[in-house]
Amino acid sequence: MTHRFPIRVYYEDTDLGQIVYYANYLKFIERGRSEWLRAAGVDQQRLLEDSHLAFVVRRVEADYLSPARFDDQLEVVTTLEQASGPRVTVSQAVERDGKVLFQARVTVICVDLRTMRPHRLPPAVQAALAG
């Protein structure tokens, strides 16, 4: 499943040259992953409350290809690559008018917050991501 999430670049997202500060792309893709999970039917708050489970970022591979600027309308595109055991890997891109400005491959791990140990994806989460 591919998910698209719109983002507008605000002044606070930019540096002195009104270009998006590099670290803010990580914030953009975090929001995109959260909305992708929500759209798939994964309620992260309920997962936390009921099972003490949460997703933590394990690895990010990122490429900055072209700058975004103040007031640009962007889209975060999130696509599932793999979900197995405790691991979920997604491809994410930040686009402007269909042109990729930033791309990343992100691996998150489902962990039990009481122990901070990896935990297999619950069957309902696995099914939601597969659907």
Q: Active-site residues: which are they?
A: 15
Q: Which of 53, 55, 41 is nearest to 3 (CA)?
A: 41
CA 90 from centroid of its chain's CA atoms: 8
Please write down the HEC assignment for all residues of 3-44.
EEEEEECCHHHECCCCEECCCHHHHHHHHHHHHHHHHHCCCH
Distance from first CA to last CA of the chain, Å, rounded?
A: 8
Q: How many angstroms separate the CA atoms of 37 and 42, rounded? A: 5
For 39, other C-beta atoms within 10 Å of its C-beta total 14
